[in-house]
Structure 1
Amino acid sequence: MSDGRMLFERERQDMADIVRLIFTRKLTNVAGGNFSFLAEKDGKKYIIMTPTMMSEAYLGNLTAAQILVVDLETREIVCGVGSLTREINMHQAVYKTNEEIKAVLHAHAPNAMFWATSGLPMPNLTEATQKVGPVPVMRFAPNCSEELAEITSTYIRENDLPVPHMLLLDSHGVLINATGDDGLMAIHKALSILDTVEWNAEIAYKQTLFQALGIMDSYHSKGEDIANIMDLKAKEAIYNRAKIAAGGD
């Protein structure tokens, strides 16, 4: 507390607003989800992070005071009312893989969860999601475990993934890692990706169904036929590499 204000008050209020929006838009469920971004003060880095039980106990209705300020290195709660989620394992591991990553968002968006439970990479077909690139599914590990943190961070590091990117956590949800001029900008970018990829997830499902019904012969993206169901079964990354979107609307 300084001059009557909470530590990182503006950032924590913004995060509380994001949590409420994500829950209202049904981009996560009462089974969980957790979001974080980096902030810096006096040369020291902190994680601004949602508390455990944010969905099940509070239905996404959090105050700024319930958003935690966590020491990036020690995982100590510096400020905030609530307990630290065990998913801090994954968040901390991801931040250490690439200094460009300034926000980590894990959610249970329903259409993306369909692909996460299928064991198949999600075809990335819409113009709005093109910069995310391929959307692979990770090897299964229990939620909140150190093993899951190791699987995701190792995959990011070994594949030298550009930022932003999105990963499917087998039977568990989605993981979006984003960057920006600061952590606040990065978490807003992650929110944008969550929303647009959720639309893409439904579109990819329907294009897959249309192929199975014989209505379409292949996945169609930005004026081109780019792959088909056999490529999906082979777990190929399906997205239009030839045409990159110029920007938003």
Structure 2
Amino acid sequence: MSDGRMIFEREREDLAKIVKLIFTRKNTNVAGGNFSFLATDETGKDFIIMTPTMMSEAYLGDLSAAQILVVNPDNREIVSGVGSLTREINMHQAVYRTNSKIRAVLHAHAPNAMFWATTGLTMPNLTEATQKVGSMPVMKFAPNCSEELAVITSTYIRENQLPVPHMLLLDSHGVLINATGKTGMEAIHKALSILDTVEWNAEIAYKQAIFQALGITDKFHSKGEDIASLDDLKQNIAIYNHTEIGAGGD
């Protein structure tokens, strides 16, 4: 930049802080995770602001703004940033191409949500804070970073015309949260909020399932209603409260 500042400096500082926060909250681990959002330059061109490969294993989530990458989506060239591009760019770019409203993609290894991702069952969505996310199904398995995984996730989003925001569970791998906003920075903050609140929901859903198995309760309960049973869970029916989302909060 002519004024001596990094390109997209504010955006990169923000993402570095988000990475540290996600690690502090233990919503991902040293096995990985990668986060990105779109930022627009003065000409109107979008660039991908993205975490580098090895952000978890090598740097333990403690990144500087200079380590956050600015990527040209046309050719995957790193325009600015110290580090290498993760192969998970396959999935991020595929997701962005499904819907122009998606401005942020967050993939993490949140432990309670990963429990549901290993069961093959759609996670029951029971809390008011997560109601807007709707169904949280498990995708067909494909190896991490593979083009196959990118195709599976993007095809599911496109064919089901998923509203934004939404969240998918990656079989034995983690969570994928896609969010919208007036800017990419706003969208990544919404994705962060979903990651945090879904972790609470994942534990609550597990405990409600245990209570039913023990005979303490009969149904999954959400917002004053009994909405489903263990049989619905076993049949992999999407369990969430379909009533209108309240006006309060976000």
In 1, the alpha carbon distance for the partners of 2:248 and 2:140 equals 32
C-alpha deviation, 1:245, in angstroms: 2.7
In 2, the alpha carbon distance for the partners of 1:247 and 1:115 equals 28
2:219 is aligned with 1:218: yes
Give the conservation status (yes or no) of the 8 Å contact 1:29–1:55: yes
Q: Could you say what secondary structure the match of 2:142 adopts?
A: coil
C-alpha deviation, 1:9, in angstroms: 0.2
| Letter aligned with residue 58 of structure 2 | A
Give the conservation status (yes or no) of the 8 Å contact 1:107–1:174: yes
In 2, the alpha carbon distance for the partners of 1:13 and 1:135 equals 30
| Map of 2:5 onto structure 1 | 5
After alignment, is 36-45 or 154-163 more displaced? Answer: 36-45
Q: Could you say what secondary structure the match of 2:97 adopts?
A: helix
| Letter aligned with residue 22 of structure 1 | I
C-alpha deviation, 1:194, in angstroms: 0.2
Give the conservation status (yes or no) of the 8 Å contact 1:130–1:244: yes
| Map of 2:39 onto structure 1 | 39
TM-score scaled to structure 2, two decimals?
0.98
C-alpha deviation, 1:248, in angstroms: 1.8
C-alpha deviation, 1:74, in angstroms: 1.1
2:56 is aligned with 1:90: no
| Map of 2:56 onto structure 1 | 55
| Map of 2:68 onto structure 1 | 67
In 2, the alpha carbon distance for the partners of 1:131 and 1:47 equals 26
TM-score scaled to structure 1, two decimals?
0.99
In 2, the alpha carbon distance for the partners of 1:75 and 1:210 equals 49
| Letter aligned with residue 100 of structure 1 | K
Q: How many percent of aligned residue pairs carry the same amino acid?
A: 81
Structure 1 residue runs of 4 or more that deviate by more than 3 Å after TM superposition:
none
| Map of 2:233 onto structure 1 | 232
C-alpha deviation, 1:202, in angstroms: 0.2
In 2, the alpha carbon distance for the partners of 1:119 and 1:131 equals 22
Q: Could you say what secondary structure the match of 2:7 adopts?
A: coil
In 2, the alpha carbon distance for the partners of 1:38 and 1:30 equals 25
Q: Which runs of 5+ in 2 are unaligned?
A: none
2:92 is aligned with 1:122: no
